[in-house]
Amino acid sequence: MAFHNNHLHFSISLLGLLLSFLLILLPATATATATAGIRLGIIRKPSSDVPIFREAPAFRNGDSCKRDEKIHVAMTLDSNYLRGTMAAVLSILQHSTCPENVEFHFLWARFDSEVFSCIKTTFPYLNFKVYRFDSGRVRGKISKSIRQALDQPLNYARIYLAEILPVEVKRVIYLDSDLVVVDDVAELWGVDLGDKVLAAPEYCHANFTKYFTDQFWSDRKLSETFSTRQPCYFNTGVMVVDIKKWRSGKFTQKMEDWMAVQKQRRIYHLGSLPPFLLVLAGDIRAVDHRWNQHGLGGDNLEGKCRSLHPGPISLLHWSGKGKPWLRLDSRRPCTVDHLWAPYDLYRPSTHALEE
């Protein structure tokens, strides 16, 4: 019996020693790359509706950076796309020469404390602001499109950037949440807009007529809107916008006018994209195609796999129905989805530890 007690005492002591070692090891693992100024860890477990994320590294400016040269990036914030947003933010910071100069402006339809907490704990050093987008502003103006996700009011928030962002923001890069940046975003920020209000990659080889209905093209008064332009398709998930020119040109009102026509005449099927094309197609500053390798999510109906287009790439965009995180989780990813995976901060475990 005495032997059993000694054995039990030894087992408890050994267990205590192992637990102590693990407690020492966990913080050490979380700061394993401290020599590079990077801090990793596990954030607290949020509610079941919000994904769990690892804490991202802390990215610091290079010696050549000037702290007053801000780069403004606007994105929408939706719990359904939060995993994509986190990956996009990480990719921007990771490839920036001056990551501390990037200021994020997040637009959301309603306050969500868990989502806000996730951003703070996943990116403790992030320079960001959050703004409420009033869904009521567009709810009566939205017409049903070919995909439900395109009908969400927040999808139209990009039209109202000039009204939401503070007046000191003169220019902004608008980015969707289903993309990753693999180049220095400062290059996109520095594009020369000239006298244009918006810059984006243009695709003049695309069949522009398909973005509008036969009813639109058969109505001479409506289709004449393009009579003085050579319209080309551009994707509104990656745009550089001159906010000051947008305000003075009343572009929000111009797009709302077309949305009102759509409610009466059914002139298009694709959510917030057609109003941009109606007002600005053929009158934007073209940006190199490498800044929007779009369509990686397939079409809007089936989301089938697509290959990369040839040429250099600075931004990968999973526009379309298929999203990389969903396809990876289903264990049926497309080849291009593996290019998104390295930026995924999601922790699938439901047993995340308190930090």
Q: What is the pLDDT of residue 2?
A: 40
What per-residue confidence (pLDDT) applies to 111? Answer: 87
pTM of the model: 0.83
The pLDDT of residue 348: 80
pLDDT at 17: 41
Question: How many CB atoms neighbour CB 126 within 10 A?
Answer: 18
Write down the pLDDT at residue 151: 73
3-class SS letters over the chain: CHHHHHHHHHHHHHHHHHHHHHHHHHHHHHCCCHHHCCCCEECCCCCCCCCCEEECCCCCCCCCCCCCCCEEEEEECCHHHHHHHHHHHHHHHHCCCCHHHEEEEEEECCCCHHHHHHHHHHCCCCCEEEEECCCHHHHCCCCCCCCHHHHCHHHHHHHHHHHHCCCCCCEEEEECCCEEECCCHHHHHCCCCCCCCEEEEEECCCCHHHHCCHHHHHCHHHHHHHCCCCCCEECCCEEEEEHHHHHHHCHHHHHHHHHHHHHHHCCCCCCCHHHHHHHHCCCCEEECHHHCECCCCCCCCCCCCCCCCCCCCCEEECCCCCCHHHHHHCCCCCHHHHHCHHHCCECCCCCCCCC
Report the pLDDT value the prediction gives residue 245, as an integer from 0 to 100: 98
Q: What is the pLDDT of residue 301?
A: 76
Distance CA 107, CA 129 (A): 9
Q: What are the backbone dihedrals phi and psi of residue 212, each rounded to the nearest 5 degrees, phi first? A: -135, 155
pLDDT of residue 92: 98
Query: What whole-number distance in Å separates Cα of residue 295 and Cα of residue 254?
Result: 27
Q: Which residues in the chain show pLDDT less than 70?
A: 1-49, 145-150, 349-355
Quick one: pLDDT at residue 149? 58
The pLDDT value recorded for residue 139 is: 81
Residues facing 238 on adjacent strands: 175
